[in-house]
Amino acid sequence: MNKDLIKGILIVVGVLLALAVFATAATEDGVQKLSCMGRAALHGVALTNIHSVCGL
């Protein structure tokens, strides 16, 4: 595999992990927000738009 591809994958995973931790720790209904973020990411919502889609 290409080193740039691996770095890109690690960056995306890191961003998703940071969003998941923020959604769980900073809100009252963290589990619901986390599931919303997961569904949005799986359905192709851009990372910059997940905030508005899930109401974070």
Dist CA 4 CA 32 (whole Å): 34
Expressed as residue numbers, the domain containing 17 is 3-54
Query: Does pTM surpass 0.85?
Result: no
- What is the reported pLDDT for 40? 86
Residue 56, pLDDT score: 66
pLDDT tens digits for range 16-32: 888 878 777 777 777 78
| Residues 24/31, Cβ–Cβ less than 8 Å | yes
Number of domains in the chain: 1
